[in-house]
A and B are shown apart, each in its own frame.
Chain A
Amino acid sequence: MAVSNDALLSVRGLSVALTTPSGDIVRPVRQVDFELGRGEALGIVGESGSGKSMAMLALMGLLPRSARREARRVSLGETDLLSLPDAQFARQVAGKRIGMIFQEPMTSLNPVYSIGRQLTETMTLHGQADARTARRRALELLERVGVPEPDVRMAQYPHQLSGGLRQRVMIAMALMNSPELIIADEPTTALDVTIKAQILDLLAELRCELGTAMILVSHDIAAVSRAVDRVAVMYAGALVETGPLRSVMQAPLHPYTQGLLRCAPQALAPHGGGRLGAIEGSVPRPFARLSRCAFTERCPLVHAACHAGEPDMHGSAERDYRCVLDVERLAAFEWADEEQPAVARSSVADTARSDQPALALDSVSCQFTTRRGLLGKPHHLKAVDEVSLDLHHGQILALVGESGSGKTTVARMLLGLQQPTAGTVRFNGLALSDTDRRERARRIQPVFQDPYSSLNPLRTVGDAIGRPLVVHRIGNTRSRRDRVREIMSLVGLDARFYDSYPGQMSGGQRQRVAVARALALEPEILVCDEPTSALDISVQAQILNLLVDLQARLNLTYFIITHDLAVVRYMATRVAVMKQGRIVETGPTERVYTRPAHAYTEQLLASMTDPLAPPERARATR
Chain B
Amino acid sequence: MSSTPDTLAERQIAGSAGEDDLLAPLTPRQLFRRRALSHWGLLIGSGLIVALVLAALFGPMLVPHDAYAQDLAGRLAPPIWAGGSWTHPFGTDHVGRDYLARLLMGARVSLTVGFFAAIVGSVIGVGLGICAGYFGGRVDQVVSYLLTCQLALPQILLAMALVFLIGPSMIVVIGVIGVLHWSYYLVVSRSAAMRIRELDYVASARAIGSSTPAILWHEVLPNLRSQVIVIFTIEMGTAILSEAALSFLGVGIQSPTPSWGLMIAEGRQSMFFQPWLAILPGIGLFVLVMGVNLFGDGLRDVLSPEGRN
Q: How far is the CA of A518 from the CA of B23 in the complex (A)?
A: 31
* B213 contacts A by Cβ under 8 Å: no
Q: Are B207 and A290 in contact (CB under 8 A)?
A: no
Q: Of B13, B20, B209, which contacts A291 at CB under 8 A? A: B20
Q: Are B208 and A416 in contact (CB under 8 A)?
A: no
Residues of A within 8 A of B10 (CB): 22
> Which of the segments B83-91, B182-190, B197-205 contacts the partner chain?
B197-205
> Which of the segments A423-431, A452-460, A577-585, A596-604 contacts the partner chain?
A452-460
* A104 contacts B by Cβ under 8 Å: no
Q: Which residue of B lies closest to A448 (CB)?
A: B200
A374 with B141, Cβ < 8 A, contacts A22-B9, A292-B20 known: yes
Chain A proximity mask over B20-49: 1 for CB below 8 Å, otherwise 0: 111111111000000000000000000000
A288 with B20, Cβ < 8 A, contacts A438-B209, A445-B208 known: yes
Q: Are A453 and B199 in contact (CB under 8 A)?
A: yes
**Which residues between 450 and 497 of chain A lie within 8 Å of chain B, taking CB atoms?**
450, 453-458, 467-468, 471-472
Q: Of A24, A458, A514, A520, which contacts B28 at CB under 8 A? A: A458
Residues of A within 8 A of B219 (CB): 456
Residues of B within 8 A of A437 (CB): 206, 209, 211
Chain B proximity mask over A431-451: 1 for CB below 8 Å, otherwise 0: 000000110111011101110
Chain B proximity mask over A534-558: 1 for CB below 8 Å, otherwise 0: 0000000000000000000000000
Q: How far is the CA of A24 from the CA of B18 in the complex (A)?
A: 12
A441 with B208, Cβ < 8 A, contacts A450-B200, A503-B25 known: yes
* B222 contacts A by Cβ under 8 Å: yes
Q: How far is the CA of A449 from the CA of B204 in the complex (A)?
A: 12
* B223 contacts A by Cβ under 8 Å: yes
* B214 contacts A by Cβ under 8 Å: yes
* B304 contacts A by Cβ under 8 Å: no
A-side interface mostly: loop
Residues of A within 8 A of B13 (CB): 22, 24
Question: What's the nearest-Cβ distance from chain B to residue A15, in Å?
Answer: 16
Q: Are B20 and A290 in contact (CB under 8 A)?
A: yes
Q: How far is the CA of A136 from the CA of B228 in the complex (A)?
A: 56
**Which residues between 513 and 535 of chain A lie within 8 Å of chain B, taking CB atoms?**
514, 517-518, 520-521
Q: Which residue of A lies closest to B205 (CB)?
A: A467
B-side interface mostly: helix
Q: Are A417 and B206 in contact (CB under 8 A)?
A: yes
Q: Are B223 and A446 in contact (CB under 8 A)?
A: no
Residues of B within 8 A of A458 (CB): 28, 222-223, 225
Q: Are B201 and A441 in contact (CB under 8 A)?
A: no
Q: Of A417, A455, A468, A517, which contacts B209 at CB under 8 A? A: A468
Chain B proximity mask over A276-304: 1 for CB below 8 Å, otherwise 0: 00000000110111111000000000000
Q: How far is the CA of A285 from the CA of B209 in the complex (A)?
A: 36
Q: Which residue of B lies closest to A291 (CB)?
A: B20
Q: Of A287, A450, A520, which contacts B22 at CB under 8 A? A: A287
Q: Of B21, B210, B222, which contacts A471 at CB under 8 A? A: B210
Residues of A within 8 A of B25 (CB): 503-504
Q: Which residue of B lies closest to A463 (CB)?
A: B218
Q: Which residue of A lies closest to B209 (CB)?
A: A441
Question: What's the nearest-Cβ distance from chain B to residue A585, in Å?
Answer: 28
Question: What's the nearest-Cβ distance from chain B to residue A307, in Å?
Answer: 9
Task: Work out how many contacts link A and B, with CB atoms closer than 8 A.
Answer: 98
Q: How far is the CA of A22 from the CA of B17 in the complex (A)?
A: 13
A415 with B214, Cβ < 8 A, contacts A291-B20, A458-B28 known: no
Q: Are B208 and A501 in contact (CB under 8 A)?
A: no
Chain A proximity mask over B214-249: 1 for CB below 8 Å, otherwise 0: 100011001101000000000000000000000000
Q: Which residue of B lies closest to A290 (CB)?
A: B20
Q: Which residue of A lies closest to B203 (CB)?
A: A417
**Chain B: interface size category:** 20 to 34
Question: What's the nearest-Cβ distance from chain B to residue A453, in Å?
Answer: 5
Q: Of A288, A289, A415, which contacts B207 at CB under 8 A? A: A415
Question: What's the nearest-Cβ distance from chain A to residue B219, in Å?
Answer: 6
Q: Which residue of A lies closest to B24 (CB)?
A: A504
Q: Are A468 and B208 in contact (CB under 8 A)?
A: yes
Most A CB within 10 A of own CB, among B9, B21, B203, B225: B203
Q: Of A415, A450, A456, which contacts B223 at CB under 8 A? A: A456
Question: What's the nearest-Cβ distance from chain A to residue B285, in Å?
Answer: 36
Q: How far is the CA of A104 from the CA of B225 in the complex (A)?
A: 33
Question: What's the nearest-Cβ distance from chain A to residue B46, in Å?
Answer: 22
Q: Which residue of A lies closest to B34 (CB)?
A: A21
Q: Of B20, B141, B201, which contacts A456 at CB under 8 A? A: B201
Residues of A within 8 A of B214 (CB): 471
Most A CB within 10 A of own CB, among B23, B203, B209: B209
Q: Are A285 and B22 in contact (CB under 8 A)?
A: yes
Q: Which residue of B lies closest to A527 (CB)?
A: B207
Q: Of A21, A501, A514, which contacts B204 at CB under 8 A? A: A514
Question: What's the nearest-Cβ distance from chain B to residue A487, in Å?
Answer: 13
Chain B proximity mask over A251-295: 1 for CB below 8 Å, otherwise 0: 000000000000000000000000000000000110111111000
Q: How far is the CA of A520 from the CA of B210 in the complex (A)?
A: 14
Question: What's the nearest-Cβ distance from chain A to residue B191, in Å?
Answer: 17
Q: Are A448 and B223 in contact (CB under 8 A)?
A: no
Question: What's the nearest-Cβ distance from chain A to residue B196, in Å?
Answer: 9
Q: Which residue of B lies closest to A520 (CB)?
A: B208
Q: How far is the CA of A501 from the CA of B32 in the complex (A)?
A: 14
Q: How far is the CA of A514 from the CA of B208 in the complex (A)?
A: 12
Q: Are A521 and B199 in contact (CB under 8 A)?
A: no
Residues of A within 8 A of B209 (CB): 437-438, 440-442, 468, 471-472
Question: What's the nearest-Cβ distance from chain A to residue B141, in Å?
Answer: 6
Q: Are A441 and B22 in contact (CB under 8 A)?
A: no
Q: How far is the CA of A615 from the CA of B9 in the complex (A)?
A: 47
Residues of B within 8 A of A504 (CB): 24-27
Q: Are B207 and A446 in contact (CB under 8 A)?
A: yes
Q: Are A501 and B27 in contact (CB under 8 A)?
A: yes
Q: How far is the CA of A467 from the CA of B219 in the complex (A)?
A: 11
Q: How far is the CA of A21 from the CA of B34 in the complex (A)?
A: 12
Q: Which residue of A lies closest to B202 (CB)?
A: A456
**Which residues between 1 and 57 of chain A lie within 8 Å of chain B, taking CB atoms?**
20-22, 24
Q: Which residue of A lies closest to B211 (CB)?
A: A437
Residues of B within 8 A of A412 (CB): 203
Residues of A within 8 A of B26 (CB): 504
A453 with B201, Cβ < 8 A, contacts A292-B20, A438-B209, A445-B208 known: yes
Q: Are A454 and B141 in contact (CB under 8 A)?
A: no
Residues of A within 8 A of B207 (CB): 415-417, 441, 444-446
Question: What's the nearest-Cβ distance from chain B to residue A374, in Å?
Answer: 6
Q: Which residue of B lies closest to A26 (CB)?
A: B22
Residues of B within 8 A of A503 (CB): 25, 27-28
Question: What's the nearest-Cβ distance from chain A to residue B11, in Å?
Answer: 10
Question: What's the nearest-Cβ distance from chain A to residue B81, in Å?
Answer: 46
CB pairs A–B below 8 angstroms (22 shown) = A21-B9, A22-B10, A24-B13, A291-B20, A416-B206, A417-B207, A440-B209, A441-B207, A441-B208, A444-B207, A448-B204, A450-B200, A453-B200, A454-B203, A454-B204, A457-B28, A458-B225, A467-B208, A500-B27, A504-B24, A504-B27, A517-B204
Q: Give chain B's interface residues, CB within 8 Å of chain A.
A: 7, 9-10, 13, 20-28, 138, 141, 199-201, 203-211, 214, 218-219, 222-223, 225
**Top 5 A-B residue pairs of the complex, sorted by shortest distance between their CB atoms:** A441-B209, A454-B200, A288-B22, A448-B200, A468-B208
Extra pairs beyond A472-B209, A514-B204 (20, CB < 8 Å): A20-B9, A288-B20, A374-B141, A415-B207, A416-B206, A417-B203, A417-B207, A448-B203, A453-B201, A454-B200, A454-B201, A456-B219, A456-B223, A457-B28, A458-B222, A471-B208, A471-B209, A500-B27, A503-B25, A504-B25
